[in-house]
């Protein structure tokens, strides 16, 4: 095995030199932001259970200067396997982080426990199974409130605007509906590719799956913009649909196959895929493009195809196998529930089944953005399980966009 790994390492290095590289490749988020001429700050905060979370801040735009003038605060939260890079890897005119900064916002980008920027713990090594014992329940109940409060403490604001993508919407739906004091700190919630159920997931992603109760938190949010919002995934398509179909009744098999650590860690093999299989002409390589779009949905004319090598330098950014199991459970059940411990549910929750998040309790002004070509945040899930359940006074806009996939 070591010889095989060494062979691929040498092959990657040699082949990589034959592939044209953009100057931004191999840059981390602070380096990317600085490269484009924007101010950047890195803030680390600690959760009550010992995880160190990293926030990246662009306090003002490229052509502005730091003053005492108050700027509206906007918090951008990535999805599953994502990081703050999701908002900053495109050129400035195409990246949300820079667009908001130039529009006069104080921009903050979060990183939940377990991704490449938040992989430290006070007591556990990232090589310990204890470090990876989390799901998006923990992102919602612990990481999200800690990051929001850290931002408000530093900016001295009472509330902020929240933009979530995919899992970033799910954790706001979850915590915002369960914690009213938290919800009051959110001025508006913009949900991109919103997800709460994934019953209609499409494509090979279904294989993994089948094989709003805390109101104090909710009061901290001024508004919630849900991008590809997800609370159910009954109609999910693509790779996650395949996973759900294959392992839905055998969730333990996922952990058995992938281990109880990080799932798809950022590192060597993703770069091997990026450089060797894709290369700079990735969009002319059907093996590369078809695999990418089996995960997220059909090709989109709105994806900047010249920068896919940079995207793949940052994705996947890491998450736990247990979190993937949690999403697979939701593909199988079609419900927006907490992690299902099976026979141990009584021990964890005081009831035989995993509690379901009640998003009808959400009181944050919410704006939804979703698309028919999104195989993960399927319109059937959004229109069948999110829109009908949201309080009519909360849902401000529901925008069914054109041909956008999940990415």
- CA-based nearest residue to 224, from 367, 113, 100, 103: 367
- Output 308 or 149, whichever has higher pLDDT: 149
**pLDDT range class, residue 99, cuts 50, 70, 90:** very high
pTM over 0.75: yes
The pLDDT value recorded for residue 85 is 93
Residue 174 has pLDDT above 50, yes or no: yes
Is 165 catalytic? The answer is no
Buried-state track 287-316, b at ≥16 Cβ within 10 A, e below 16: ebbeebbbbbbbbbeebeeebbbbbbbbbb
| pLDDT (average), residues 328-341 | 91
Catalytic residue among 166, 222, 266, 300: 166
| H or E segment and range at residue 319 | strand 319-320
Q: What tokens were used for 139? A: 């992102």
Residue 348 CB-half CA count within 13 A: 13
Whether residue 195 contacts residue 168, with contact meaning beta carbons closer than 8 Å, is answered with: no
Residue 295 has pLDDT above 70, yes or no: no
Q: How far is CA 365 from the centre of its chain?
A: 21
What the chain holds in terms of domains, given with CATH numbers, is 2-64+71-401 (3.40.50.1820)
Catalytic residue among 374, 378, 381, 398: 374
Residue 20 has pLDDT above 90, yes or no: no
The pLDDT value recorded for residue 253 is 53
The pLDDT value recorded for residue 384 is 81
Q: What tokens were used for 234? A: 């009954």
Query: Of the ranges 35-44, 230-239, 323-332, which one carries the lowest mean pLDDT score?
Result: 230-239
Query: Of the ranges 116-125, 205-214, 302-311, 389-398, which one carries the lowest mean pLDDT score?
Result: 205-214
Spatial neighbors of 116 by CB under 8 A, at least 6 apart, are 83, 266, 314, 317, 318
Rounded distance between C-alpha atoms, residue 215 and residue 207, angstroms: 35
Spatial neighbors of 137 by CB under 8 A, at least 6 apart, are 174, 326, 338, 339
Is 398 catalytic? The answer is no
| pLDDT, tens digit (0-9, with 9 covering 90-100), for 251-261 | 555 555 455 55
| pLDDT, tens digit (0-9, with 9 covering 90-100), for 22-39 | 788 889 999 999 999 999
Residue 209 has pLDDT above 50, yes or no: no
Is 125 catalytic? The answer is no
- Output 214 or 108, whichever has higher pLDDT: 108
Residue 208 has pLDDT above 50, yes or no: no
The pLDDT value recorded for residue 382 is 80
**pLDDT range class, residue 73, cuts 50, 70, 90:** very high
**pLDDT range class, residue 244, cuts 50, 70, 90:** low
| pLDDT (average), residues 104-114 | 97
């Amino acid at each position: 095995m070591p010889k095989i790994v060494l062979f691929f390492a040498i092959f990657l290095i040699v082949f990589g030199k034959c592939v044209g590289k953009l100057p931004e490749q191999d840059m981390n988020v602070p380096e990317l932001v600085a490269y484009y001429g924007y101010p950047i700050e890195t803030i680390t905060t600690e959760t009550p259970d010992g995880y160190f979370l990293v926030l990246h801040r662009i306090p003002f735009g490229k052509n502005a200067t730091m003053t005492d003038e108050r700027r509206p605060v906007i918090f951008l939260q990535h999805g599953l396997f994502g990081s703050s890079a999701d908002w900053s890897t495109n050129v400035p005119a195409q990246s949300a982080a820079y667009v908001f900064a130039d529009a006069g916002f104080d921009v903050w980008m979060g990183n939940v426990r377990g991704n490449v920027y938040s992989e430290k713990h006070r007591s556990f090594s990232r090589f310990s199974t204890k470090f990876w014992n989390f799901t998006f329940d923990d992102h919602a109940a612990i990481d999200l409130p800690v990051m929001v409060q850290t931002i408000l403490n530093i900016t001295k604001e009472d509330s902020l605007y929240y933009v979530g993508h995919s899992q970033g919407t799910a954790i706001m739906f979850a915590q915002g509906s369960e914690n009213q004091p938290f919800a009051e700190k959110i001025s508006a919630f913009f949900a991109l590719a919103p997800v709460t159920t994934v019953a209609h997931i499409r494509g090979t992603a279904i294989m993994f799956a089948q094989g709003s109760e805390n109101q104090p938190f909710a009061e901290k949010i001024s508004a919630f913009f849900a991008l590809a919002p997800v609370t159910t995934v009954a109609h999910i398509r693509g790779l996650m649909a395949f996973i759900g179909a294959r392992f839905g009744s055998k969730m333990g098999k996922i952990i058995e196959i992938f281990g109880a650590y990080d799932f798809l860690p950022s590192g060597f093999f993703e770069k091997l895929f990026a450089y060797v299989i894709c290369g700079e002409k990735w969009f002319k390589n059907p093996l590369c493009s078809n695999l990418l779009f089996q995960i997220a949905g059909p090709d989109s004319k709105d994806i900047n195809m010249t920068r896919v090598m940079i995207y793949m330098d940052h994705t996947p950014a890491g998450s736990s196998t247990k979190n993937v199991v949690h999403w697979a459970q939701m593909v199988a059940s079609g419900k927006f529930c907490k992690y299902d411990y099976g026979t141990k549910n009584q021990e964890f929750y005081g009831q035989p089944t995993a509690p379901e998040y009640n998003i009808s309790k959400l009181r944050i002004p919410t704006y939804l953005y979703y698309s028919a070509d999104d195989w993960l945040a399927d319109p059937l899930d959004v229109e069948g399980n999110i829109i009908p359940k949201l309080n009519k006074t909360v849902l401000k806009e529901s925008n069914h966009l054109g041909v956008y996939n999940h990415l």
